[in-house]
Copies of this chain bind each other. A is one copy, B any other.
Amino acid sequence: MPRSTNLLRIDPERMRTAFDALAQIGATAEGGLNRPTFSPEHLAARKWFAGQIQKAGLEFRTDGAGNHSAFLACGPKDAPSLLLGSHLDSVPNGGRYDGALGVMAAFEVLRTIQAAGLKLKVNLETIDFTDEEGTLVGLLGSAALAGHLEPEWLQNPRGGRAALVEGMKRAGLSDESVLGAARRPESIAGYLELHIEQGKRLERAGVDIGIVSAIIGISSYRLTFLGRADHAGTTTMQDRLDASQGASAFTLAARELVLTDFPDCVVNVGRMDFAPGAFNIVPAHVELWLEFRAPDETSVQRLDSALIIRARAEAERFGLDLKVDFLGRHAPTPMAEATQLAFAAACDALGFTHMPLVSDAGHDGQSLAKICPVGMIFVPSVDGASHAPREFTEWQDCVNGADVLLQAAVRLAG
């Protein structure tokens, strides 16, 4: 297909300058960055972004959930907004592209449209959502904005209530402000996001752009194996109720279960906390952080049930009790057909190859899909690296993705 040459394009140098400046905030020695939600580094990144918005002559907005926006009044006064965005928080010791690329590309799209003086049928808003990564709650800002954040999520968050309360305080937020951040669905025209793939499919296929067809479902639990503290010298091996045994057996079994019976799914034990946690005391409690993902609703439910049954069986095998705390789930989410078509048309116009992909990672689009059309594209990740300092995407791929985002936004907003 012949490549159009007279299309509006983003400014690669301007985007690069902003991207590199942002990557300095919370930068780690290994070349990644560390900006967990509401950490000093995360708040510094947001402060920097607010400054950039104002310098660019765009309107800076924030809400009760801490979401930060750049607003461009390119449509009629009371028209809804098409949101373009991602997030500036990172996992602990994560990479430079996850989230940050999407926000910087969306910001660059607004600056390009602003400079071109385009008049569109809707207004545009670049948004940085709060806590996409789930250091505290997961998709916190987008769920709040979409009006379906459950108060229970704030009371029993996966990062712990104390950490959430302290973090919100640092950011000047509260339970009340977060729950009050919902927008009227009719005020939102749609949501588009550019993200790195976080896998190897585009790289292996040699394709420029992945057009997301659906976002995988994610569930998380805190499982506590409950045994008994005893002296680790004088209590015979037979007499122990050792919580480490149940937790370890479950950790091995969960992997085997998914490998054997759920080839489309994944499971992760990201952390265990031992109590009392001493060399010479048999562990009384082990709290295990469990997350699993499945591409469709049936698999979500089958895997959920299989894992919890297995956890109970392993606890019982070692004479332990099991406490099951369900921390929340995000259902598998199909992307809107109109946005997939707009992305495909944009790719075709720009001469980029594209393919449909299921997102194996969760994204804020899951929240927005409940109130508006959502679309998402991926650009290739070198070696599929993600949530790690070695995360890397070629700059030309970043620019390509931003140009597709620009063209799709203009098509959907025009």
Which A residues form the contact surface with B (CB < 8 A)? 91-93, 133-135, 138, 158, 197-199, 216, 218, 220, 228-239, 242, 244-245, 247-249, 251-252, 255, 258-259, 266-272, 274, 276-284, 289-291, 293, 360-362, 384-388
The listed residue (B232, B233, B271) touching A278 by CB distance below 8 A is B271
Q: Across the interface, do A279 and B291 meet the contact criterion of CB distance under 8 Å?
A: yes
Q: Indicate if the CB atoms of A387 and B230 lie closer than 8 Å.
A: yes
A269 to chain B, nearest CB (A): 5
Bound Cα distance A266, B235 (Å): 8
Q: Is B244 touching A251 in the complex (CB atoms < 8 A)?
A: yes
Q: List 10 A-B contacts (CB under 8 A).
A: A91-B278, A92-B276, A218-B233, A234-B360, A234-B361, A244-B251, A268-B282, A270-B279, A280-B361, A281-B388
Q: When A234-B197, A252-B252 are in contact, do A229 and B280 touch as well, CB less than 8 Å?
A: no
Instruction: Name 20 extra pairs, CB < 8 A, besides A231-B361, A268-B280, A270-B274.
Output: A92-B281, A133-B280, A134-B280, A158-B279, A228-B388, A230-B387, A233-B266, A233-B360, A233-B362, A237-B266, A244-B272, A245-B255, A268-B282, A269-B283, A270-B280, A272-B272, A278-B289, A279-B289, A279-B290, A281-B387
Least Cβ distance of A80 to chain B in Å?
31
Q: Are A245 and B237 in contact (CB under 8 A)?
A: no
Contact check: which of B138, B236, B284, B384 meets A235 at CB < 8 Å? Answer: B384
In the bound complex, CA of A258 to CA of B362 (Å) = 43
Please, how many angstroms separate the alpha-carbon atoms of A278 and B279 in the complex? 24
From B216, B218, B248, give the contact of A248 (CB < 8 A).
B248
| Complex: A197 Cα to B284 Cα, angstroms | 21
